[in-house]
Amino acid sequence: MKIIVFGGDGFCGWPTALHLSNKGHKILIVDNLSRRKIDIELGTNSLTPIEDIETRIKTWNKISKNKISFYKLDIAKNYFELKELFKSFKPEAVVHFAEQRSAPYSMKNSSTKSYTVDNNVNATHNILNAIVETRLDCHIVHLGTMGVYGYGWTGKNPIPEGYVKVLVGTTREEKEILHPANPGSVYHMTKTLDQLMFGFYCKNDSLRITDLHQGIVWGTQTDETKLDKKLINRFDYDGDYGTVLNRFLMQAAINHPLTIYGKGGQTRAFINISDTVKCINIAINNPPKKGDRPSIFNQATETRKLSDLAKLISKKTSAKISYVENPRKEDPRNDLVVDNSKFLKLGLKPKTLNEGLMDEVQNITLKYKDRVNLKTIYPTSKWVVK
């Protein structure tokens, strides 16, 4: 299959592009390299020494019979160039990772808020528009987030996969609607707007769309990125882009206390990066039919309370734990049970935290700990403007 991976230079996009290439697909990566520019802006770096995109692709193309190509483009700003790209490459599927994905960065100041909205909403809408205008039969697989549901779910039932049944009015008429959106940051808000655009374009233009509500991704390497050191994946550890588990792992490696925001009663959903790439392959192989509503999967394999996660890492590494003021506006504690049966039924065998944690500590964080910029460990973005 011919597949465009939008955002294919990023943390999830790069290993996904390699995995899909390894499965025999013809891959074109489209990325504007904005994530690398934001590293410079924030004075941070990937803990792992990632190569530039040209070297990455040259290295892969030397070892793989399936070649990957790259096109540099800002898809939020250049609609007509994007449309031409669709016309010439004629993808049968696209995977859409090309959004500003840090919640803290999206809350930093008025310009990062506006940038996140402009970039994410336009990137998604331009892809939808281009598929409609080129009349291609192209399946969109989009990376959404578990955060669209919010973290206020206290019910005994697990969070369903995208849709909920409700009883309306005095006649108690049964309807199935999109799960109410409850974003916790400007970034999450853009993902809830994505959902509305997907619903509209499925209804109006019969596009085929799969939206993957992904949990927090942890880990670094996949089977493909391990094949050559020049293929290594990025690992973000800073207060803005570092996801919580990767931040804890890096902190343990440098003997820094694990920084829990608030009391650590927040429960979040997680997935290992090697399961992310497998889920995307499964989604590509199981597209919805034309005329269907967006197909939604919960792409998460485990839920953990953040204080329990810190204790688990502390037990394995002897790291200390420290509690810092929570920069976010969120409930101090929540329960979270997630239905992920669609992926399990389609064959996903999740890699658990217990299995993978020490591998990550030994092979990544201890190995590259000298690259840490200590100044970027603490959070600097705050949710409430004072």
Ligand X SMILES: NC(=O)c1ccc[n+]([C@@H]2O[C@H](COP(=O)([O-])OP(=O)(O)OC[C@H]3O[C@@H](n4cnc5c(N)ncnc54)[C@H](O)[C@@H]3O)[C@@H](O)[C@H]2O)c1
Which residues are known to be catalytic? Answer: 145, 187, 191
- Locate 225 and state its tokens: 């990125």
Q: Is 126 left (phi over 0), alpha (psi -120 to 50) or beta?
A: alpha
Give me the least distance between CB of 88 and ligand X, in Å please: 17
Give me the least distance between CB of 331 and ligand X, in Å please: 19
- Locate 52 and state its tokens: 């530039």
Q: Which is nearer to ligand X, 143 or 159 (CB)?
A: 143
* Binding footprint of ligand X on the chain (CB under 6 A): 7, 9-13, 31-35, 74-76, 97-99, 101, 119, 123, 143, 145, 214, 216-217, 243
Q: Which is nearer to ligand X, 269 or 313 (CB)?
A: 269
Q: Which is nearer to ligand X, 98 or 170 (CB)?
A: 98
Q: Which is nearer to ligand X, 10 or 264 (CB)?
A: 10
Q: Which is nearer to ligand X, 79 or 163 (CB)?
A: 79
* Three-state SS annotation for the chain: CEEEEECCCCCCHHHHHHHHHHCCCEEEEEECCHHHHHHHHHCCCCCCCCCCHHHHHHHHHHHCCCCEEEEECCCCCCHHHHHHHHHHHCCCEEEECCCCCCHHHHCCCHHHHHHHHHHHHHHHHHHHHHHHHHCCCCEEEEEEEHHHHCCCCCCCCCECCCEEEEEECCCCEEEEEECCCCCCCHHHHHHHHHHHHHHHHHHHHCCCEEEEEECEEECCCCCCHHHCHHHCCCCCCCCCCCCHHHHHHHHHHCCCCEEEECCCECEEEEEEHHHHHHHHHHHHHCCCCCCCCCEEEEECCEEEEHHHHHHHHHHHHCCCEEEECCCCCCCCECCCCECCHHHHHCCCCCCCHHHHHHHHHHHHHCCCHHHCCHHHCCCCCCCCCC
Q: Which is nearer to ligand X, 211 or 262 (CB)?
A: 211
Give me the least distance between CB of 13 and ligand X, in Å please: 5
Give me the least distance between CB of 307 and ligand X, in Å please: 20
CA distances from 220 to 10, 57, 200, 357 (A): 12, 18, 35, 11
Q: How many angstroms separate the CA atoms of 292 and 51, rounded?
A: 41
Give me the least distance between CB of 14 and ligand X, in Å please: 8
Residue with the shortest CB distance to ligand X: 10
Give me the least distance between CB of 351 and ligand X, in Å please: 15
Q: Which is nearer to ligand X, 22 or 243 (CB)?
A: 243
Give me the least distance between CB of 76 and ligand X, in Å please: 4
Q: Which is nearer to ligand X, 50 or 252 (CB)?
A: 50
In the sheet that 216-218 helps form, which strands lie side by side, from edge to edge?
216-218, 267-272, 302-305
Q: For residues 59 and 101, is the Cβ–Cβ distance under 8 A?
A: no
- Locate 121 and state its tokens: 């909403």
Give me the least distance between CB of 140 and ligand X, in Å please: 13
